[in-house]
Structure 1
Amino acid sequence: MNGFSNVVLVDHPLVQHKLTLLRKKDQPTTDFRRLVSEVALLLAYEVTRDLPLETVEIETPLERMTAPILAGKKLCFVSILRAGNGILDGMLDLVPSARVGHIGLYRDPQTLVPVEYYLKLPDDIGERLAVVVDPMLATGHSAAAAISRLKQAGARKIRFVCLLAAPEGVEVLAEHHPDVEIFTASVDRQLDSHGYIRPGLGDAGDRLFGTK
């Protein structure tokens, strides 16, 4: 149990192993980026576990059969720019037919309040499961703001996926969006005074793109 009713903790051994490698401060950018993509693919298995199925008739090399296939409109992955793109790539490896949306938010360094600068979503977002992706759920304000904008655009079924979460961020997201499940590999100890997750893994965006 993780202590949070809105959190699905993905504790698969491979996820936990790769997360430990991600945390190491001397992990090179190339390896960090690859590991994020690998963990994202594994997280995608969990967040899509209950997608609806229908049956179709197909022909195998030996005979005809009725077999399951995904039903109706499928997914939309929504990346919170810029770091969300690191998770997006791994998930698209698993579900290449998914639609993709982007929302640009930056955190005001003084107030820590998110400011939106970009939004592009599929027109039929309301007919799809919207999976919002961002490596870190820290204060929770950016995630809450992104999900509010998705709901304004018509999204009705939303899930949030991150590598790491802080208890403070989980609580903020639950307060603003109690209907949204959080899928994560770990809920870490706390936020520090600068809004970073402890013990965490540093700034995921900088480590993904080698900008620091």
Structure 2
Amino acid sequence: MTTPHLTVVDHPLVQHKLTLMRERDTPTAVFRQLLREISHLLAYEVTRDLPLTTKVIDTPLQEMEAPTLKGKKLALISILRAGNGLLDGVMELIPSARVGFVGLYRDEETLQPVQYYYKVPGEMGDRRVIAVDPMLATGNSSAAAIDLLKKSGAKDIRFMCLLAAPEGIARMKEAHPDVPIVTAAVDERLNDVGYIIPGLGDAGDRMFGTK
């Protein structure tokens, strides 16, 4: 499923690995490895339209004009803490990327984001920016993170997540209609405390074994 604002990556390997991650009894180490593997596959989609230029190179047989990435190196932005699980996998695919971090946590009573850290690369306006966070639930933290990135000059932004709720997609579309979302699945809804249903629980806790 693809619209201008939302791409759901329905590749069989993505869906199979996501099912394994959803299972309650999947161990922390396996969950972490699966998240890294899925992030590779999602990263292919989120980078599909990167601009290219050409340069002249010498192959073992002859000179040729060959495609190469154009412009400044990408900026990968992890929305802490759970974003680091996706970040690791994307960095394996794009090791030259610059990396930044947005520290936000959700107030469990108001469901609103609270900022505690922010550090991003320079020249954000000249880079493709990929913000990563496994769960797009209420969308409040994600929208707040994109607000901060735009204040730093970012103009070309993509948001990559593992799971999304319809409420989070709507919130992001309202706040940032210019930021496409790439995800592995859109689940049914949020429950009364803002968790994605059926979901997979708290991605950060399952990734780091903290609950």
Normalised by the size of structure 1, how large is the TM-score?
0.97
Deviation at 1:13, TM superposition (A): 1.0
Q: What SS does structure 2 have at the residue aligned with 1:69?
A: strand
Cross-structure match for 2:131 = 132
1:143 equivalenced with 2:146 (yes/no): no
Q: Which residue of 2 aligns with 1:57?
A: 56
Cα drift, residue 60 of structure 1? 1.3
| 1:115-134 CA-partner distances (Å, limit 9, x unpaired) | 11100011111110111100
Partner of 2:119: 120
> In terms of mean alpha carbon deviation, does 9-18 or 182-191 score higher?
9-18
Q: What whole-Å deviation, never above 9, does each CA across 1:56-81 have from its counterpart, x for those lacking one? A: 11111222111101011131110000
* 2:82 alignment counterpart: 83
Secondary structure of the residue aligned to 1:55 is strand
Write the deviation string for residues 27-60 of structure 1: whole angstroms up to 9, x where unpaired.
0111100000000011000000011111111111
Q: Structure 1: which 5+ runs fail to align?
A: none
SS across alignment from 2:182: strand
The amino acid that maps onto 1:182 is: I
Aligned counterpart, 1:72: 71
Runs of 4+ in structure 1 over 3 Å off: none
Alignment-mate amino acid for residue 204 of structure 2: G
Give 5+ residue unaligned stretches, structure 2. Answer: none
Superposed CA RMSD in Å reads 1.0
Deviations 1:63-104 (A, max 9, x none): 211110101113111000000000000000100000001000
Letter in 2 for 1:94: L
**Matches of 1:154 and 1:72 in 2, distance apart?**
16
Find the residue that maps to 1:27 and give its secondary structure.
coil
Q: What's the secondary structure of 1:66's corresponding residue?
A: strand
Q: CA deviation at 1:5?
A: 5.0
Name the SS for the 1:111 alignment partner: coil
3-state SS of paired residue (1:96): coil
- Percent identity between matched residues is 64
Pairing 1:18–2:17 present: yes
Matching residue of 2:31 = 32
2:42 counterpart residue number: 43
Question: Aligned partners of 1:20 and 1:74: how far apart in 2?
Answer: 33
TM value normalised by structure 2: 0.98
